[in-house]
Amino acid sequence: MTDASRRELLLGAAATLIAPALPAVAATTPAKAPKAAPKAELKTAGVKMIPVDGKYQVWTKRVGNGPLPMLTLHGGPGCTHEYLECFEDFLPQRGVTFYYYDQLGSSYSDQPDDASLWTVDRFREEVEQVRKGLGLDRFVLYGHSWGGMLAIEYALKYPQHLRGLVISDMTAGIKSYEAYAAELRKKLPPETIAILDRYEAKGDYENPEYQEAMIKVVYGKHLCRLDPWPNAVNRTFQHLNAKVYNTMQGPNEFVITGSFKEWDRWADLPKIQVPTLVICGALGTMNPDDIRKMAKAMLHARAAVTPNGSHLEMWDDQQTYMAELTRFLGGLKV
């Protein structure tokens, strides 16, 4: 052993012997604080507000946790999601996660007082913003009435995001809608026709006698045939934004004077190639022959007509309507 090695060994032994006698030295590295528990996700019952157009917010709500997502587009324009609440008793149990969505101007969403917003093109782009905000892709788009028009518009521009399409109670052009409404009008009781003619000639659509004739006779025969109307249907009409409705549609379901009066997509239907269900009530406001014609025009579409249903046949021919809807959804690959 060299002198240097012997010296290092003796110094190390001496340090060991005297170490217990030395005072403890505080650690120079501070102890790490315990990790904070992960923050629990805030539960909102499926409700999510989606920003649109950079300055507004629209209301959505998720129902269910199944593998097949479906976004709903309510009618109107200017109505609300509320009349679609019966879906909760049929869709989640079959693996469908669906989303309520009140369009801009509708009850739970922002309601700006700006008539320039109420256009078909702007609403179509709003749907795409909602899709992104919800993180949806390869989803089913369901549209009822005006929502069916909007669904057609979306499917023509953004087909890459769709797994399936449901067009409920909407024809492919307003002229077709008006022609069938004229035929339905001829079949109303003569006294009702006289009332409608009298006040429409004056443009007095808010007259109580006119309103009573529309609601009790016309809507009672063709909009919803249940008496009384379900609570969800009543709430929808109580919350209707008349400014949006009147700007785009007009005074009522049978007098169309609004901005979408010239809308027509008959020639474009062959471009829609996603699996599609086109459905209406035989007693509603859309011509069942138009519904069948639409399905024939699309590559992967089929038509269904509920025999006892009106415009809201998810209520007055509920079992038939839901059977057709769930059969279609069940046939889509997840």
What digits encode the pLDDT tens for the residues 183-242?
999 999 999 999 999 999 999 999 999 999 999 999 999 999 999 999 999 999 999 999
- Please check the confidence at residue 22 and state whether its pLDDT lies above 50: no
Q: What is the mean pLDDT of residues 42-56?
A: 95
Please give the full DSSP string across 249-288, using - where no structure is assigned. Answer: T-SBTTB--STTTT-B-GGGGGG--S-EEEEEETTSSS-H
Give the per-residue pLDDT at 253: 87
What digits encode the pLDDT tens for the residues 265-280?
999 999 999 999 999 9
Contact by Cβ (8 Å): 165, 276: yes
- pLDDT band, very low/low/confident/very high, at 13 (cuts 50, 70, 90): very low
How many Cβ atoms are within 10 Å of 19's Cβ, its own excluded?
A: 8
Q: What is the mean pLDDT of residues 298-306?
A: 97
Helix, strand, coil percent content, the chain, rounded in steps of 5: 45, 15, 35
Q: Residue 170: which of 259, 285, 323 has the closest Cα?
A: 285
Give the per-residue pLDDT at 2: 44
Amino acid identity of 178?
Answer: E
How many Cβ atoms are within 10 Å of 13's Cβ, its own excluded?
A: 10
- Please check the confidence at residue 14 and state whether its pLDDT lies above 80: no
Which residue would you say has higher pLDDT here, 18 or 151?
A: 151
The set of residues, in sequence order, having a beta carbon less than 8 Å from that of 319 and lying 6+ positions away, is none
- pLDDT band, very low/low/confident/very high, at 42 (cuts 50, 70, 90): confident
- Computed over every residue of the chain, the mean pLDDT equals 91
Say how far apart CA 73 and CA 302 lie, in whole Å: 20
State which fold the 47-330 domain adopts: Rossmann fold (3.40.50)
% of the chain surpassing 70 pLDDT: 89
Say how far apart CA 26 and CA 29 lie, in whole Å: 9
The set of residues, in sequence order, having a beta carbon less than 8 Å from that of 61 and lying 6+ positions away, is 45, 46, 47, 48, 81, 99, 100
- Please check the confidence at residue 4 and state whether its pLDDT lies above 50: no
- Domain extents in the chain: 47-330
Say how far apart CA 316 and CA 265 lie, in whole Å: 29
Q: What is the mean pLDDT of residues 256-269?
A: 96
- pLDDT band, very low/low/confident/very high, at 254 (cuts 50, 70, 90): confident
Say how far apart CA 235 and CA 82 lie, in whole Å: 7
Which residue would you say has higher pLDDT here, 30 or 150?
A: 150
- Please check the confidence at residue 26 and state whether its pLDDT lies above 90: no
Give the per-residue pLDDT at 323: 98
How many Cβ atoms are within 10 Å of 292's Cβ, its own excluded?
A: 16
Give the per-residue pLDDT at 39: 77
How many Cβ atoms are within 10 Å of 247's Cβ, its own excluded?
A: 21
- Please check the confidence at residue 16 and state whether its pLDDT lies above 80: no
Task: Identify the residue whose tokens are 């379901």.
Answer: 253
- Please check the confidence at residue 304 and state whether its pLDDT lies above 50: yes
Contact by Cβ (8 Å): 317, 305: no
Which residue would you say has higher pLDDT here, 254 or 294?
A: 294
Give the per-residue pLDDT at 214: 94
Q: How far is CA 165 from the centre of its chain?
A: 12
Residue 49's Cβ-count burial label (10 Å; 0-12, 13-18, 19+) is middle
What digits encode the pLDDT tens for the residues 134-177?
999 999 999 999 999 999 999 999 999 999 999 999 999 999 99
Give the per-residue pLDDT at 3: 45
